[in-house]
Chain A
Amino acid sequence: MLYRRNPQLNKNGELVHLLSIEGLPASILRQVLDTAESFVSVNDREVKKVPLLRGRSVFNLFFENSTRTRTTFEIAAKRLSADVINLDIARSSASKGESLLDTIANLSAMAADIFVVRHGESGAPYLIAKHVAPHVHVINAGDGRHSHPTQGLLDMFTIRHYKKDFSNLTVAIVGDVLHSRVARSDIHGLTTLGAAEVRVVGPKTLVPADLAQMGVRVCHNLKEGIRDCDVIITLRLQNERMSGALLPSAQEYFMSYGLTREMLQLAKPDAIVMHPGPINRGVEIASDVVDGTQSVILPQVTFGIAVRMAVMSLVAGNEAN
């Protein structure tokens, strides 16, 4: 196989695209987290805007709908004084329409600086990054089942905020790991930043054994999986999974894998509970846990804006060369 440089880094090893946490050195991850630290304070000022991306254009290219994620990126971009253009490119199989690369080429002709891309196919942002003009930066807002790097980074930021040091931490990721790009990004982030132990928990149909090769411990029993954990990340269970051949029902899932108050007691007393959202109350997590004292789900959202500001300002300041 021919050697291929990580397409996210330029020749000086600086971040020019954010496509996946996998393959990024810990120093880059820490740089993002440290930069995000500064941006958290921007949200507390009277004037919640800094001029770093003034005159730059951020195009939100969402091939898969998501108002939440798109809104977060839009807020982040506007706080950096960038101009934001939203493009909802509905992907219907009935009408193929313009090819993906033609879309990108046309948009590049409109002087975009940053593309924030969400796509239903794993790997799509890599294709886009290969074909954009040199000065354009691509940020992956979620591709298929593969990666959701900004979510992974904001999860790491959240954990660092509450727990400080990764090297003593046991983290459990509970739910449909097989289909989750958030889980993959979290796993890469945690292993790169040196978490002591990462466990993935769920039924065999949703948590396959070969996940162990990513450096995690596979558990099919919730009690065993969250015992003495410092952090519990619960994943959203999608409706499609519940009626398919993967799971019989939401009720059955909740019985075996739902995070309830009783289950939470098996973790460390100061364990934090996280969720990427949107939450299915009573399916993957009980309502009283969502609203309980150990939940940091709302701070995750706030941190998400700062982290996205950090990513955008970092890539925009680095040249592709």
Chain B
Amino acid sequence: MSTGSTADDLAAHAAERVRDLPALLQALVRGVGALRRPTSQLVGIATGGAWLAERLQAELALPGEHGVLSSAMHRDDFAQRGLSAREPTRLGFDVNGAHIIVIDDVLYTGRTIRAVVNELYDYGRPASVTLAVLIDRNGRELPIQADFAAARVELPANNMVALRRDAAGVLSVVIEKRPS
């Protein structure tokens, strides 16, 4: 629970919550393990969610490969920001009748989730879609919630939290102030 009232206190408290990344990752593994059905497919949202899905696939010793979902084709901000050429969608299984667990690093406004669900529907009609995220932060702009979140934080409006991966493949969480 946040005790500070100023924006800096809020940010500091959030930083504290996400400091221990290995612990968060373990929590995520346990959470996804609990959500799983025998036939569930893991799909990570490019790029942070895809990194996490790769880790989860290994940690949970799941057969096959994790899928990757791109939000590029269905984003609602194309007119403002143009097309982002990130990793394209790669699924490797039939979406029709599948139980899909979508993995993302940070759940914020909910717009990315809306876009990737639309993306999934271009491939077929899934039996179910559940959402597991590493960090669930305040600031939802659509009625979308995670089925599991390893950490819930509150941040001031102009702060961003993101998952980074360095050249060696080491993950880290960063909280930054966005220039206003």
When A and B assemble into the complex, do they touch directly, with CB atoms less than 8 Å apart? yes
Chain A contacts for B85, CB-based, 8 A = 31, 34-35, 37-38
Query: From residue 82 to 122 of chain B, which have CB atoms closer than 8 A to chain A?
Result: 82-83, 85, 88-90, 118, 121-122
CB of B112 to closest CB in A, whole Å? 15
Of the listed stretches A40-48, A117-125, A291-299, name the one at the interface; the rest are far from the partner chain: A40-48
**Given A45-B123, A46-B122, CB of A313 within 8 Å of CB of B89:** no
* Interchain CB contact under 8 A, B74 and A317: no
Chain B contacts for A250, CB-based, 8 A = none
Chain B contacts for A108, CB-based, 8 A = none
Q: Does B33 contact A (CB under 8 A)?
A: no
* Interchain CB contact under 8 A, B81 and A52: no
Q: Size range of the interface on B? A: 10 to 19
Q: Does A314 contact B (CB under 8 A)?
A: yes
Closest A residue by C-beta to B90: A41
CB of A316 to closest CB in B, whole Å? 8
Q: Does B160 contact A (CB under 8 A)?
A: no
A47-B122 Cα distance, complex, nearest whole Å: 5
Chain B contacts for A318, CB-based, 8 A = 82
A82-B81 Cα distance, complex, nearest whole Å: 18
Residue tally, chain A, CB below 8 Å to B: 19
Closest B residue by C-beta to A51: B74
Contact with B along A99-126 (1 / 0, CB 8 A): 0000000000000000000000000000
A152-B118 Cα distance, complex, nearest whole Å: 33
Contact partner of B78 (CB less than 8 A), chosen from A14, A45, A317, is A317
- Total of A-B residue pairs, C-beta within 8 Å: 46
A42-B73 Cα distance, complex, nearest whole Å: 9
Query: From residue 43 to 82 of chain B, which have CB atoms closer than 8 A to chain A?
Result: 70, 72-74, 78-79, 81-82
Chain B contacts for A46, CB-based, 8 A = 122-124
* Interchain CB contact under 8 A, A35 and B123: no
Q: Does A214 contact B (CB under 8 A)?
A: no
**Given A41-B88, A45-B122, A46-B124, CB of A51 within 8 Å of CB of B73:** yes
CB of A314 to closest CB in B, whole Å? 6
* Interchain CB contact under 8 A, B73 and A38: yes
Query: From residue 8 to 64 of chain B, which have CB atoms closer than 8 A to chain A?
Result: none
* Interchain CB contact under 8 A, A317 and B73: no
A78-B81 Cα distance, complex, nearest whole Å: 21
* Interchain CB contact under 8 A, B82 and A314: yes
**Given A37-B88, A38-B73, A317-B78, CB of A52 within 8 Å of CB of B83:** yes
Q: Does A50 contact B (CB under 8 A)?
A: yes
* Interchain CB contact under 8 A, B72 and A38: yes
CB of B86 to closest CB in A, whole Å? 9
A34-B83 Cα distance, complex, nearest whole Å: 11
Chain B contacts for A14, CB-based, 8 A = 82
Query: From residue 261 to 313 of chain A, which have CB atoms closer than 8 A to chain B?
Result: 313
A37-B85 Cα distance, complex, nearest whole Å: 9
* Interchain CB contact under 8 A, B122 and A313: no
Chain B contacts for A50, CB-based, 8 A = 73-74, 122
Closest B residue by C-beta to A31: B85
Chain A contacts for B89, CB-based, 8 A = 38, 41
Give 5 nearest A-B pairs by CB, closest first.
A317-B82, A50-B73, A38-B88, A47-B122, A34-B85
Other than A38-B70, A45-B122, A52-B78, give 19 A-B pairs with Cβ distance below 8 A. A14-B82, A31-B85, A35-B83, A35-B85, A37-B88, A38-B73, A38-B85, A41-B89, A42-B122, A47-B121, A50-B73, A50-B122, A51-B73, A51-B118, A52-B83, A313-B83, A314-B83, A317-B82, A317-B83
Question: Which residues from chain B sit less than 8 Å from chain A, CB to CB?
Answer: 70, 72-74, 78-79, 81-83, 85, 88-90, 118, 121-124
16 sample A-B contacts, Cβ–Cβ < 8 Å, listed by A number: A14-B82, A34-B85, A38-B70, A38-B73, A41-B88, A41-B89, A41-B90, A42-B122, A46-B123, A46-B124, A47-B121, A49-B122, A50-B73, A51-B118, A317-B78, A317-B81
Question: Which residues from chain A sit less than 8 Å from chain B, CB to CB?
Answer: 14, 31, 34-35, 37-38, 41-42, 45-47, 49-52, 313-314, 317-318
